[in-house]
Structure formats: C-alpha cells, structure tokens
Amino acid sequence: MTKRISFTKHLHKITPKFREEMNLAESTEDVKKFFSYAVKELIKEILLEQKPEEEISISEEDIIFVPERPPYFEISESLISKIKDLWEESDLPQIIEKLAEGALGRYKHLERNPEKTEQKIRM
C-alpha cells in the first residue's frame, strides 16, 4: 500500500484569503478568476515545499473553474504532466475540488442575483 501525501495544511493556509475573495466577488467572472488565483497559489506553495529545485510556471489557462459539471474545475494536461507524481500520490485533486465546491456556491448566488454585477457594469 502506498502512502498518500496530504496537503491539508496548505489548504488551511489559503482558505481565509480564498473566502474573503469569494465574499468580495461581484460577478461570476470574479469567482472564476479568484478560484484560479487560489489554486495557482496552492500549487505554487506545495511545489515550493515539495520540489524547491523546480520552477514551474502556471498560467491562468492552466486552471479553469467549470460550474456546469463536477468536479467543477479543469487542470490543463501540461500542468498535470508537470505535477503528475503529486497529483496521483496526494490529496491535491480532492483539495482543489473542495475549493471548487466553495466557489460554486458563490457562483450560483451571483448567477441568481445579477443585480450587483449589473450595478458594477453601469458605473
């Protein structure tokens, strides 16, 4: 049986900022953007700890929030190939899914109540 690596401590580290950003999100696009930023920060933090000798660039297109279907996110094949061992041997996919589920709640709220977004556009 292989031992799985847990990155829960990294989740706890980014969660307060993630929640604050989700609360400040004024549009569904903000939710998508803040989700991508949070996951990017999470992965960079993990890589810094696990593979300090490797420098991996992560673009905004590598991490996409997909509210239409579970697990509510997509990670690019190029990024997955760079972090393959961490992806397969840890709880990283579950942690990102947890963040995506949190973002989904805010996304649905803003989708149902677009007044705030419309006010922002009119200003």
Residue 47 forms part of a structural domain: yes
Residue 85 forms part of a structural domain: yes
User: Looking at residues 1-21, what average pLDDT do you find?
Assistant: 91
d(Cα 103, Cα 73) in Å, to the nearest integer?
Answer: 10
Query: Into how many domains does the chain fold?
Result: 1
Q: State the sign of the Cα–Cα–Cα–Cα dihedral 101, 14, 33, 37.
A: negative
Spatial contact of 91 and 8, defined as CB atoms under 8 Å apart: yes
Residue 2 forms part of a structural domain: no
Residue 1 forms part of a structural domain: no
Which residue range forms the structural domain that includes residue 111? Answer: 8-122
pLDDT at residue 119 tops 90: no
Residue 118 forms part of a structural domain: yes
Q: State the sign of the Cα–Cα–Cα–Cα dihedral 67, 68, 72, 78.
A: negative
36-61 pLDDT tens trace: 999 999 999 999 999 888 888 999 89
| Entry pTM | 0.89
Q: What pLDDT sits at residue 118?
A: 54
pLDDT at residue 115 tops 90: no
Q: What pLDDT sits at residue 108?
A: 96
